[in-house]
Structure 1
Amino acid sequence: MQTSNKLKILNDPIYGFITIPNSLIFDLIEHKYFQRLRRITQMGMSYLVYPGAHHTRFHHAIGCMHLMQKAVQVLRFKGVEINEEEKNALLVAILLHDIGHGPFSHAMEHSIVNGVSHEHISMLFMEVLNKEFNNDLTLAIKIFKGEYHRKFMCQLISSQIDMDRADYLKRDSFYTGVAEGNINSERLITMLNVKNDELVIEMKGIYSVEKFLVARRLMYWQVYLHKTSLVAEQLLIRVLKRAKELTRKEVVLNASKPLQFFLRNEINLSDFNKETLDTFSKLDDYDIVSAMKEWQDHDDFILRNLCRMIINRDLLKVKIKKKPIKKEKLIAFKEQLTNAYSITDKEAEYFVFTGEISNQAYTQKKQGIKILHKNGSIEDLVKASDQLNLKALSKPVTKYYICYPKEKL
């Protein structure tokens, strides 16, 4: 592919100037599959709570690539051998790690495709791009899948202290204005090292890691699992489910061609071929928003009300409890709704529902964060730390929610 490489520097509000290191990275950024990420919100419906949270997956991917450049530089300086091919593969893998996200990031996975994760779609995109770029992405794909023999490289892409988390916590904290999530990602990266082919943090960086985990926990409760963003995302999932249900009954819904395709067809893992992937690549947040603006005046009571709730930010009431919601409460709310609007119990489930949310800042059992002592010994973070609350951070905390209409629809 011939592309004139003119742009070599991007100005990022978090890190300042970001250098695009080579023509392969530049051409991947220029590709239509990657440019689509400009139209996918990084934080889904969170902008309904934090008005500044309009940053995109494009911002995040570029930021991750920048941090990976820094990580490679630090590790090489400390004597870890990383050749040019491996360096480029790491940059490509982290750049494309989120390329498979659908509209509003996670809503699509739970509504109009069946059991197809964004990671799987990212993999498919990378394989198609590999053919287009003369197999230049082969090593990046191997690292992304966790199949490369150098384990620490896979950990830089996906682990409990990877470049993905190092960017999104800092970036999401900046755009939401939630200062508690602001981590020192540069300091964390400077403390990275490799021992026995595993990614480790030097002992002097332990406090930065503790701050990172506390920031992650606070960001989950305060931002990612905020009750308003939670109910907004649940409503969006239900909008798409209802639209799919009506389309199956041959009810005409105005929507873009790519969205129509996913509403009409049952898409499973086995159906995700090149043609489906091309259609998916034309789908973004704008398709969903413009469809909801159309559907808010539709004849269908459920679709109309769900869309109006999101468009006008007049959402369902949501209550979060420490104990599971009692069935009687759920039944009572449903009965009120079915009696008031002559709808079925199944239809009432679109407006009255329960669920649970869980937050675990650190998982000790699953590839924990290793601390490297000055004498060369390695210890898990929880044992190495003098912070008692790190044990608490490694226990999952589950809360339960119920959503129901505030008043008459």
Structure 2
Amino acid sequence: MKQQNTLKIINDPIYGFITIPSELIFNLIEHRYFQRLRRISQMGMSYLVFPGAHHTRFHHTLGAMFLMQKAVQVLRSKGVAINDEEADALYIGILLHDIGHGPFSHAMEHSIVNSISHEDISLYFMEALNAEMLNKLSLAISIFKNEYSRKFLHQLISSQLDMDRLDYLRRDSFYTGVTEGAVNSERLIAMLQVKDDKLVVEEKGIYSVEKFIVARRLMYWQVYLHKTGFVAENLLLRMLKRAKELSGEGVTLRCSDALQYFLQHKITKEKFNTEVLEIFAKLDDTDIISAMKFWSSHEDFVLSELSNMLLNRSLLKIKVKKNPISIERVTEKKKQVMAKYSLTEEEASFFVFTGSMTNQAYDMVHDTINILTKKGKVIDVAKASDQLNIEALSKRVVKHYFCYPKGVGA
């Protein structure tokens, strides 16, 4: 059925009215591939910690497109030549940058598909849409892949100060109620400029950049790496891993046809063809939630227990330390769990595990945020800032976690 461009604006709780800039973009938004993002949560299992965090990838991508429109407007006003074709390609690129996310955003790419990132799948979707829409997405794909000659356009879509980050920090802050992440995206965009084909920030915007970097660090510790949400994400990955193991042993699990396909097949990057993409396009959060409800009464203890933990928010205990957890401590805890629930060591590993979490607010090595001084010199923000903490925030902070069932030892 032919789409008709009758919807001109969308009301967004963060920015107000978002204008859809063209009929092509309207048709992309209306496409079933994109509409699926209404059923993909932006923040995974974080709603178990922050009850308001039920916003979706659909919200986020529209917000990022809105900010891209503002960025194009600002750069054009400063004499940066961006033609209409390039502008449309930027809107399309940022609109579709997250289209490859699976259920609960990151669960699929770490559990039941192998060596395929959501960026890879986003590109597969973009290429499929390009074929369907008579190659009208070719320039957007070129910019997205950083193959276009004007490199600053790619930076607007993917860099340390791109429209993606400017939207998700502010949006996630709004929906979680964690005000530390409320960056001033309008001010940052107003300070953008291009120098020698590189995206830079005018010197008078340096304090806004500093706040942005600090906000990112705080949001990671307070929200994205919050220990309760973190353990819930790990339980989700382990639940899907167990389901895939059982399916591989010939056990048929109740779930949607799309999820069943990925449980029963080993999908690698080489095998991710058009047929697989179509099946992936049918997957969303509801597939996982409904499967969880079926599996909560399954005879396999590991699968049913993990499902019930997530459904009822009865999660594992998690301890976060500066130093790695000793092998002896992990082994002892596994033995306690094995004895209490009559599990094998392999089964106990689903409930007792350790690892590390990393937070690096700013990367001084790859794709830096550059400040344009009043004298026309370009300097890394960490060097230009009079705040010593920016360089300190570029250091990778690693913490170690230890998860195990409550009520099993101390």
Q: TM-score, normalised by structure 1?
A: 0.99
Alignment correspondent of 2:103:
103
Match of 1:258 in 2: 258
Amino acid across the alignment from 1:306: L
Q: Aligned-residue CA RMSD in angstroms?
A: 1.0
- Is residue 326 from structure 1 mapped to residue 326 from structure 2 by the alignment? yes
CA contact (8 A) 2:152 2:194 kept: yes
The alpha carbon displacement at 1:341 in A equals 2.2
Distance in 1 separating the partners of 2:280 and 2:292: 18
In 2, Cα distance between equivalents of 1:220 and 1:184: 18
> Aligned ranges for residues 44-83 of structure 1 at < 5 Å?
44-83=44-83
SS of the equivalent of 2:55 reads coil
Moved over 4 A (4+): none
Residue 353, structure 1, aligned to residue 353, structure 2: yes
The worse-fitting range, judged by mean Cα deviation, of 28-37 and 339-348 is 339-348
Q: 2-side partners of 1:2 and 1:74: how far apart? A: 35
* Residue equivalent to 1:91: 91
Structure 1 segment 107-186 matched on structure 2, within 5 A:
107-186=107-186
Instruction: Report how far residue 343 of structure 1 moved.
Output: 1.3
Question: Is 1:224 aligned to 2:224, yes or no?
Answer: yes
How many Å separate the matches in 1 of 2:368 and 2:69?
A: 23
State how far apart, in whole Å, the 2-side matches of 1:36 and 1:372 are. 40
2-structure distance, mates of 1:209, 1:271: 42
Q: Distance between the aligned counterparts of 1:275 and 1:126, measured in 2?
A: 15
Whole-Å Cα distance in 1 between the matches of residues 393 and 158 of structure 2? Answer: 20
Following superposition, the deviation at residue 317 of structure 1 comes to 0.2
AA partner of residue 128 (structure 2): V
Instruction: Kindly state the Cα deviation for residue 375 of structure 1 after the two structures are TM-superposed.
Output: 1.3
SS of residue matched to 2:112: coil
Partner of 1:364: 364
SS at match of 1:398: strand
2-structure distance, mates of 1:5, 1:88? 16
Cα distance in structure 2, aligned partners of 1:24 and 1:31? 11
- State the 1:34 CA deviation: 0.1
Q: Residue 66 of structure 1: CA displacement?
A: 0.3
Whole-angstrom distance in 1 between the partners of 2:166 and 2:342 = 50
Separation (CA, whole Å) in 2 of partners of 1:263 and 1:252:
10
Aligned to 1:389: 389
Q: Are 1:398 and 2:401 an aligned pair?
A: no
Whole-Å separation in 1 of the counterparts to 2:2 and 2:297: 47
Match of 2:288 in 1: 288
Deviations 1:319-373 (A, max 9, x none): 0000001111100100001122221111110000001000000001111111001
The AA in structure 1 aligned to 2:240 is L
Match of 2:37 in 1: 37
2:201 match: secondary structure:
strand
Cα distance in structure 2, aligned partners of 1:250 and 1:37: 32
1:279 aligns with 2:300: no
Please list the CA deviations of residues 185-217 of structure 1 after superposition, one character each: whole Å capped at 9, or x if unmatched. 000000000000000000000000000000000
Q: Offset at 1:107?
A: 1.0
Instruction: Provide the rounded CA distance (Å) in 2 between the counterparts of 1:255 and 1:102.
Output: 16
Separation in 1, partners of 2:134, 2:280: 23
**Structure 1 letter corresponding to 2:117:** S
Q: 1:179 deviation in Å? A: 0.3
CA contact (8 A) 2:41 2:55 kept: yes
Local SS of the residue matching 1:199: strand
1:72-125 per-position Cα deviation (integer Å, ceiling 9, x unaligned) = 000000000000000000000000000000000011111000111000000000
- Structure-2 separation of matches of 1:22 and 1:66: 13
Q: Hey, what's the Cα distance between the residues in 2 that align with 1:114 and 1:398?
A: 25
Q: Which amino acid aligns with 2:179?
A: A
Counterpart position of 1:239? 239
CA–CA separation in structure 2 for the residues paired with 1:316 and 1:383: 43
Q: C-alpha distance in 1, partners of 2:248/2:212?
A: 46
Residue 2 of structure 1: CA displacement? 3.2
**SS of residue in 2 equivalent to 1:81:** coil
**Mind listing any 5+ residue stretches in structure 1 that lack a counterpart?**
none
Once residues 78 and 41 of structure 1 are traced to their aligned partners in structure 2, the CA distance between those partners, rounded to angstroms, is 37
Q: Deviations over 1:228-285 (max 9, x none)?
A: 1110000000000100111111112100000000000000001100000000000000
Q: One-letter code of the match for 1:37?
A: L
The amino acid that maps onto 1:228 is T
The AA in structure 1 aligned to 2:219 is M
CA distance in 2, matches of 1:225, 1:311: 20
SS at structure 2 position matched to 1:50: coil
Task: Kindly indicate whether the alpha-carbon contact (under 8 Å) linking 2:11 and 2:17 is maintained by their aligned counterparts in 1.
Answer: yes
Of the structure 1 ranges 246-255 and 209-218, higher mean CA displacement relative to structure 2 is found in: 246-255
Q: 2:262 is matched by which residue type in structure 1? A: F
Tell me if structure 1 keeps the 8 A contact 2:383–2:391.
no
SS of alignment partner, residue 314 of structure 1: coil
Measure the CA separation in 2 of the matches of 1:130 and 1:214. Answer: 38
Q: Hey, what does 2:210 align to over in structure 1?
A: 210
Q: CA deviation at 1:407?
A: 2.1
Distance 1:389 1:342 in 2: 50
> Is the aligned partner of 1:18 residue 2:32?
no
Q: Secondary structure at the match of 2:45?
A: helix
Return 5+ residue gaps in structure 2 as ranges.
Answer: none
1:377 matched to 2:374: no
Partners of 1:2 and 1:21 in 2: CA distance: 19
Q: Secondary structure at the match of 1:44?
A: coil
